[in-house]
Amino acid sequence: MKRQSSYAKDEGKLYLVPTPIGNLEDITIRAKKVLTDADYVAAEDTRTSGILLKKIGVHNKMISFHKYNSKERAPELIKLMKEGAVIAEISDAGMPVISDPGYVLVQECIKHDIPVVPLPGPNAFSTALIASGFNQPFTYYGFLPRKSSEQKTYFAQMRDNRATSIFYEAPHRLAKNLKTLASVLPKDRQIVAARELTKIHEEFIRGSVEEVTNYFNENAPRGEFVILVSPNTEAPKQLSWTELIDLVNDLVEKGESKKDAIKQVAKQHHVSKNELYDQYHQD
Ligand code: SAM
């Protein structure tokens, strides 16, 4: 067990600082202060962040920290923090670590007992979720693999998911990937495309997967997107093992073989046949 008291000591630490996803006014007063007071700002892209920091009136030393140098750069940053430096980490936009670099550094800090201090702030998927009209719980998938054969595995999970599913997609891949999504989901399943959040062209395109897919076939997607898939309300409630075993026994009583009964119940209730077999044969 490890216990982190974020502000107990005046010591080196890592601040995770969210930056605007479009509207610069979304930077918080605290984020500006932390970025100003830190010894260094570790930025995914020092050029992009340089422009942002200048616009919000922050002048500080930047260190480049991105997914291609994070393994080598992390030990250097850890050394600085162990010597007492305060580092504020930012990504190009939104929350560091969320589909952005930072995870490696967070892990290293925890390993070395360096406090990791998160700031609340802008993030694309939670902003999209609260206006989507879809409920919680939710599952966040980040970016999906590019191959449609691999995407289909995720889309099948979303089809069955009893929670809202959320993913990020680049505009030039959106139309094609929505077609793949439409090939896996029932036609009338509701989805939302949240576009250009917090920016002047912000839009929510809400409708069935068929309608939204057709819309983007006719209107080329532009800007940044979050896609949300409504929960599956058709799926049977997830039953306990005891309830599933009762169903197997019912079928056996009606004359099914144990093997076939297990197979049928497993298929109907989306559980592993082997696991149900093991549960059924447990004492
Ligand atoms: N760390 C960020 C966050 O907290 O949301 C996400 C970074 S990820 C590299 C960038 C993706 O987030 C974009 O491709 C898009 O899918 C989504 N995104 C970022 N800003 C957005 C915005 N203003 N509107 C819609 N989606 C956005």
Report pLDDT for 236: 65
Pocket (CB within 6 angstroms of ligand 1)? 21-22, 91, 93-95, 98-100, 123-125, 168-170, 194, 196-199, 224-226
Ligand 1 centroid – CA 57 distance (Å): 23
pLDDT at 235 over 90: no
What's the pTM value of the predicted model, to 2 decimals? Answer: 0.85
Mean pLDDT score of the chain, rounded to an integer? Answer: 95
The CATH architecture of the domain made up of 124-229 is 2-Layer Sandwich (3.30)
The residue extents of the domains of the chain are 13-118, 124-229, 241-280
Which residues in 67-105 are b (16+ Cβ under 10 Å) and which e?
Answer: eeebeebbeebbebbeeebbbbbbbbbbbbbbbbbbeeb
Burial class for 110, CB neighbours closer than 10 Å (0-12, 13-18, 19+): middle
pLDDT at 152 over 80: yes
User: By the 8 A CB rule, do 224 and 197 touch?
Assistant: yes
Pocket test of ligand 1: the residue of 167, 200, 225 to mutate, having most ligand atoms within 8 Å of its CB, is 225
pLDDT at 12 over 80: yes
- List the beta bridge partners of residue 41: 62, 88
User: By the 8 A CB rule, do 129 and 202 touch?
Assistant: no
How far from chain centre, in Å, is Cα 219? 26
Average pLDDT, stretch 110-133? 98
Q: Is 13-118 a domain of CATH 3.10.520.10?
A: no
pLDDT band for position 275 (50/70/90)? very high
pLDDT band for position 234 (50/70/90)? confident
Domains 13-118 and 124-229 equal at CATH topology level: no
φ/ψ of 165, rounded to 5, equals: -105, 140
pLDDT at 283 over 80: no
Atom number, ligand 1, closest to the C-alpha of residue 124: 5
Cα dihedral 178/180/182/183 (nearest 10): 170
How far from chain centre, in Å, is Cα 265? 32
